[in-house]
Structure 1
Amino acid sequence: MVRRNLLLAWSFGLVASLSFAGTGRAFAQDAVKAPAPAAKVEVKEAAKPEEPKKDEAKKEEPKKEEAKAPEVPAELPPPTVPPEVEAKLEAARHAVAEAIVAAQDAGLVDSSIDPPPILDILIKGYAVDARTLKNAAGKKPYPVSPEVFGAWFTGYGKTEGINYQTDVRIVNPSAGLKAWYDQRASILNRHIEAVRKAKGPAPAPKAEEPKKEEAKKEEPKKEEPKAEVKKEEPKAEAPKAEVKAEAPKAEAVKEAPKSE
């Protein structure tokens, strides 16, 4: 009975071991057949360099110096009047004042402006523009000379009842203005020529001296004389002391053989 049980147990164990070995081989074959999934290789992209911000880039860029246009003064300064010219002008102004007073005293001045127009007096010998402006029968706007017109529009009109913006205008060239300027040119040119003849030829205008800075630029730079390098003269060798030939030493006097 015991032997039988042992035999059964042994056979059962043998069958079990064989079946286990077969299943193990099957599993091993399946493991070999089924390829392992390929490992995913993650390729990391190289990090892109950060672009500088626009504001920072603008700060880093050196500011380009804008080409400045040469400064031009808005208004050129007036010329300086020399003392000798100013003296002549004062004399002329005094003479004009004398002419105005003389014309007033003679009843030749009836002007709508104050002081009266000097050009009218010098050219025509009288100034009666007030009569034109007071003429109610005249046609508006009333024509006057340029000096009278300018005086009215700058606050020097004195005749009452005149609206200068609508009642005053410059006389038309074909109605007398051209003839007025022709007469002005004729009178002044005649007197200018007389003064020129009495004074002699006008001195030639002095040539403007070039500015110091421009003169310096124009002058070519003088080449400075290069310092001459003195060649060193060969030093005279000191005469070598002559070596005196030593006198031959006197040979030892041989002793004469003694006679026996």
Structure 2
Amino acid sequence: MRSELKKLKYRLSRLTETPKITCTLCQEKIYEFEPLDKHYLEMTAKYGFPYALEDAETLNVTAYNCPLCGGSDRDRLYALFFNKSIEPDKTYNLLDIAPAKALAAFIKKKKNIAYRSADLYMPEVDDKVDLTDMHIYKDNTFDIFVCSHVLEHVPDDKKAMKELYRVLKPGGWGIAMVPIFKSATEIKEDPTVTDESERWRRFGQDDHIRLYSKAGFKERLQEAGFEVKEFTTKDFKKDAFSANGIDPGSVLYIVNK
């Protein structure tokens, strides 16, 4: 009921306009995607974060989230990949780490995917799991995993990557994404930093303990055993990125076992 009321208010707020965009996640017609919350711009500026948010590899600051489902630009990118990669006559077991609400709802609509969510702190997940010790799952359990913007929070990300590799079936694939700043030349990390202002300054967010470079992120995934593939705008239908508010320089990292 609440979502329907939200839709109604949204339509009434722009009664004289015609919505021209369809959100890939919720399939609702909208007028435009909303920009990134200015809080992030204000805080990175306040604490002297050395990178501009526009330097982030997969982030559209001006068209970040859907006004109805709240799905982010990266979630819409994942949805595009699911739509092109999921075979209708095949069944999949999927693990979603720290699930994003809009993406989770999108995946659950696919009848041939057995969905399971996991996180150590989120209250409404299927399993309470430490990403560095997922002993509740046997080896080679899942066909697919989603681990998006989680590893930058984890003190031992190498151990977490090895666990993701362990629970993935041979031939399976995963979405592995973290914030990457294109001009960063190396990984910068310090799990001992607890001061929020210092985390904003060094890592770009108050709950991050690491800032990845592109090369460093790929190298750690490969060390865990993964084959890493990059998907860009050329791997999708023409105009798919622009129609979905995805920055043309965005990169989707798919790992294979």
TM-score, length of structure 1 as denominator length: 0.21
Higher helix share: 1
Q: Over alpha carbons, which structure has the higher Rg?
A: 1
Determine which structure has greater relative contact order: mean sequence separation of CA pairs < 8 Å that are 6+ residues apart, divided by chain length. Answer: 2
Higher strand share: 2
TM-score, length of structure 2 as denominator length: 0.22
